[in-house]
A and B are shown apart, each in its own frame.
Chain A
Amino acid sequence: MKLALLKTPDTDLKVSPVPKDTAPATPKLKQATQSHRFDAEIVSVTKRYAPLGAPAVDNISLRIPRNSYCCLLGPSGCGKSTTLRMLAGHEDVSEGAILIHDREITTLPPVERGTSMMFQDYALFPHLTALDNVAFSLKVRGVAQIERRAKAREYLELVQMDHLAERLPNQMSGGQQQRVALARSLITRPKVLLLDEPLSALDPFLRIRMRAELKRIQKELGISFIHVTHSQDEALALADLIVVMNDAVIMQAAPAREVFETPTNAFVAKFLGGHNVIQSKGREVSVRADQCHLGARPGMNSLSGKISMIEYQGTNVRITVTTAENEDMTVLMPALTYFDHAPEIGETAQMSWEASDEHALAPM
């Protein structure tokens, strides 16, 4: 059923606000075949809300390769949502340029940019059924009712919501509303889909199911998704490209594994979690918590402190060691190893690690 959707030619919509030359003869819903270098490119973009105030986004540049799942990750107020809104055309760009599929779209209105935004609160039209919500963008382009409903139904099938096509938004659960919102964004055939904290309103179980779904749909459509989140788990699980932001600038933009294994600075290491940031031999380094051990070992670097917390997490046990400087270090050890020794809270302990596991951090 999904394959059928991918083969649906756009031409059956009989919509022609788009000049004919830009539309291939038999365009597929899958768009990755077109020749362009990057799905999205941000070139030295700055956003200031007040002319002389501190910028919300400060001279950032980013290239998003074709067909990638990109997560903008950072604490609230870091500028990630502003970046997304500038990509969507909901916010003016103060300086710089934005390109989608190698075409500059910095000042174009949202509908002409080739982007589509899925809102955090879903922003479904409360008076329209799921089907008419999805069909709305076709309606405003003057597509006849039967045609646009048929098309909308295909997109509802893609997100597995076709059985609730006649429901109103307030008759659906949050997860169902989100699927409809996703279908409504996708029916405009965006080159890049923008998602503003799409999973934050869902309960943990649904969140994990929905994120797998998002990844599946992204791969199926072959377009780029840019997903704003403040959850590192979400970013690590989903992203081909993680962009860690803080204080209006990009701290690191790299594949998930690279960001996790070689964070560029202390902020990235701490924000991602699972790392200890340590002063070792006069320089700042990060060591993954699962590569730290409890107890002094010969030939290893170590520091001492007091065990202040022990969290049993099933597979692993997470032990917090508080140093004399009142800094919290984390040791993540397999539960089996933990129960061999069973250290207790309040005990003095050594934390040790291999010098080769140290990763040097750049000063911030």
Chain B
Amino acid sequence: MPAAQSAAPPHQRQVLSPKVASWLQVAPMAVIFTLMVLIPLAIIFVVSFLDYDFAQVFPELYLGSWVDLFTSQLTLNLYALTFKFVAIVWVVTFVLGFCIAYFLSFHVRSGALRLLLMAAIAIPFWTSGPIRMVSWVPLLGREGLINQALMGLHLTSEPVTWLMYSEFAVLVAYINLLTMPMVAAMANSMAKIPHSVIQAAKDAGASEGQIIRDIIFPLIKPGIAIGSIFVVTAVMGDVFIVKQMSGSQVNTVGMSIVTELNAFMYPPAAAKSIVLLVIVLSIVGLLLRFADIRKELQK
């Protein structure tokens, strides 16, 4: 029956239902995310409720880690210091970042010069982290450039000791590291403002300050949010810079988690990590409400 055969489809094509197809498409990411993020997080969460001694964790319910976290003045001080760092670094990088980005975007006329200056901001990041940390010593150290200058000018009789291995040094390093992402995020948003929009505001009689307040700030909100997320997460999650720049003399939440891990005190480290994670996610959530980042990534 040749006619009948040709009327039937040559082979039965199995069409997946759209629902199944979408599930299959998200499956790889879902598996990776579950295995490498959700399950470890769940383990950390469970561990934070377990008892421990100097060498191991017992599978017994123990709320001491959590009680300590919320009652110990020492732990609360750690969080306070971490917040202080976040706040200071955010304010300074925001002000610096805005000024630099504004200058580059609206005052540098030549595109080539703008690119050159942008590249100049990035030059310090061509070296690795440890080298950058070490290179602060000749500047801020006891025998460093600044101390030599201060003593040479007879402003101080002996070296200023809080320049290096101090909270100050940690802040300097953070600001040095995090101003660039702030500049980049804001400059990126500013680049999307058409020149004619600024010109129209000027024509309407707006002063530079009014243009910044009424036009530029509202339009670069997404850039501010992205830069801020970068700064907040970097400072909250950092241990390396604190350790190097303070000579292990300043203790943040991140540092104490590392110290406890080194001492096999997994449950308190786990509890602190979870609290830190919740805080970071809340801040990010808050910033995302403030500005629609998807819009920024689209264009």
Residues of A within 8 A of B (CB): 17, 88, 90, 109-111, 116-117, 119-121, 123-127, 136-137, 139-141, 184, 188
Which chain A residue has the least Cβ–Cβ distance from B193? A126
Q: Which residues of chain A are within 8 angstroms of B196 by Cβ–Cβ distance?
A: 119-121, 123
Q: Which residues of chain A are within 8 angstroms of B194 by Cβ–Cβ distance?
A: 121, 123
Inter-chain contact A141/B205, CB cutoff 8 Å: yes
Q: Which residues of chain B are within 8 angstroms of A109 by Cβ–Cβ distance?
A: 202
Which chain A residue has the least Cβ–Cβ distance from B215? A125
CB of B6, distance to nearest CB on chain A (Å):
50
Which chain B residue has the least Cβ–Cβ distance from A89? B203
Query: B199 within 8 Å of A by Cβ?
Result: yes
Given A121-B194, A125-B215, A127-B219, A136 and B201 touching (CB < 8 A)?
yes
Inter-chain contact B218/A127, CB cutoff 8 Å: yes
Complex: A140 Cα to B215 Cα, angstroms: 11
Inter-chain contact A90/B199, CB cutoff 8 Å: yes
Complex: A139 Cα to B218 Cα, angstroms: 16
Query: B248 within 8 Å of A by Cβ?
Result: no
Most chain A CB inside 10 Å of its own CB: which residue of B194, B205, B207, B210: B205
CB of B232, distance to nearest CB on chain A (Å):
24
Given contacts A120-B196, A137-B204, A184-B204, 17 further A-B contacts (CB under 8 A): A17-B205, A110-B202, A110-B203, A111-B202, A119-B196, A119-B199, A123-B200, A124-B200, A125-B200, A125-B201, A126-B197, A136-B204, A139-B214, A140-B205, A140-B214, A141-B205, A184-B200
Q: Which residues of chain A are within 8 angstroms of B204 by Cβ–Cβ distance?
A: 111, 136-137, 140, 184, 188
Given A121-B194, A140-B210, A126 and B203 touching (CB < 8 A)?
no
Among B197, B205, B219, which residue has its beta carbon within 8 angstroms of that of A137? B205
Which chain B residue has the least Cβ–Cβ distance from A136? B204
Complex: A121 Cα to B197 Cα, angstroms: 9
Across the A-B interface, the 7 shortest Cβ-Cβ residue pairs: A137-B204, A123-B196, A111-B205, A123-B200, A140-B206, A119-B196, A110-B203
Which chain A residue has the least Cβ–Cβ distance from B196? A123
Inter-chain contact B203/A88, CB cutoff 8 Å: yes
Inter-chain contact B201/A116, CB cutoff 8 Å: no
5 A-B residue pairs with CB within 8 Å: A109-B202, A110-B202, A123-B199, A124-B197, A137-B204
Which chain B residue has the least Cβ–Cβ distance from A127? B218
Among A17, A121, A124, A136, which residue has its beta carbon within 8 angstroms of that of B206? A136
Chain B interface residue count, Cβ-Cβ cutoff 8 angstroms: 17
Q: Which residues of chain A are within 8 angstroms of B205 by Cβ–Cβ distance?
A: 17, 111, 137, 140-141, 188
Q: Which residues of chain A are within 8 angstroms of B197 by Cβ–Cβ distance?
A: 123-126
Please classify the interface of chain B as helix (H, G, I), strand (E, B), loop, or mixed, using the class held by over half of its residues. helix
Residues of B within 8 A of A (CB): 194, 196-197, 199-207, 210, 214-215, 218-219
Q: Which residues of chain B are within 8 angstroms of A90 by Cβ–Cβ distance?
A: 199
CB of A328, distance to nearest CB on chain B (Å):
39
CB of B172, distance to nearest CB on chain A (Å):
36
Q: Which residues of chain B are within 8 angstroms of A188 by Cβ–Cβ distance?
A: 203-205
Complex: A140 Cα to B203 Cα, angstroms: 11
Q: Which residues of chain A are within 8 angstroms of B215 by Cβ–Cβ distance?
A: 125
Q: Which residues of chain B are within 8 angstroms of A125 by Cβ–Cβ distance?
A: 197, 200-201, 215
Most chain B CB inside 10 Å of its own CB: which residue of A88, A119, A124, A188: A119
Q: Which residues of chain B are within 8 angstroms of A184 by Cβ–Cβ distance?
A: 200, 204
Q: Which residues of chain B are within 8 angstroms of A123 by Cβ–Cβ distance?
A: 194, 196-197, 199-200
Complex: A137 Cα to B206 Cα, angstroms: 7
Complex: A141 Cα to B200 Cα, angstroms: 15
Complex: A286 Cα to B195 Cα, angstroms: 43
Given A123-B196, A140-B214, A117 and B219 touching (CB < 8 A)?
no
Which chain A residue has the least Cβ–Cβ distance from B195? A123
Which chain A residue has the least Cβ–Cβ distance from B197? A123
Q: Which residues of chain B are within 8 angstroms of A124 by Cβ–Cβ distance?
A: 197, 200
Complex: A88 Cα to B202 Cα, angstroms: 11
CB of B217, distance to nearest CB on chain A (Å):
10
Complex: A188 Cα to B201 Cα, angstroms: 12
Complex: A17 Cα to B215 Cα, angstroms: 22
Complex: A117 Cα to B205 Cα, angstroms: 12
CB of B221, distance to nearest CB on chain A (Å):
9
CB of A3, distance to nearest CB on chain B (Å):
27
CB of A145, distance to nearest CB on chain B (Å):
13
CB of B219, distance to nearest CB on chain A (Å):
6
Which chain B residue has the least Cβ–Cβ distance from A133? B200
Given A123-B196, A123-B197, A140-B210, A117 and B218 touching (CB < 8 A)?
no
Complex: A127 Cα to B291 Cα, angstroms: 12
CB of B112, distance to nearest CB on chain A (Å):
16
CB of B108, distance to nearest CB on chain A (Å):
18
Which chain A residue has the least Cβ–Cβ distance from B211? A140
CB of A39, distance to nearest CB on chain B (Å):
18
Inter-chain contact A111/B203, CB cutoff 8 Å: yes
CB of A81, distance to nearest CB on chain B (Å):
12
Complex: A214 Cα to B210 Cα, angstroms: 31
Most chain B CB inside 10 Å of its own CB: which residue of A17, A88, A137: A137
Q: Which residues of chain A are within 8 angstroms of B201 by Cβ–Cβ distance?
A: 125, 136, 140
Inter-chain contact A126/B219, CB cutoff 8 Å: yes
Complex: A184 Cα to B206 Cα, angstroms: 14
Complex: A299 Cα to B22 Cα, angstroms: 82
Complex: A137 Cα to B203 Cα, angstroms: 8
Inter-chain contact B200/A119, CB cutoff 8 Å: yes
CB of B189, distance to nearest CB on chain A (Å):
12
Q: Which residues of chain A are within 8 angstroms of B200 by Cβ–Cβ distance?
A: 117, 119, 123-125, 184
CB of A316, distance to nearest CB on chain B (Å):
40
CB of A211, distance to nearest CB on chain B (Å):
21
Inter-chain contact A117/B203, CB cutoff 8 Å: yes
Complex: A94 Cα to B262 Cα, angstroms: 72
CB of A172, distance to nearest CB on chain B (Å):
16
CB of A190, distance to nearest CB on chain B (Å):
10
Which chain A residue has the least Cβ–Cβ distance from B192? A126
Which chain B residue has the least Cβ–Cβ distance from A190? B203
CB of B2, distance to nearest CB on chain A (Å):
54
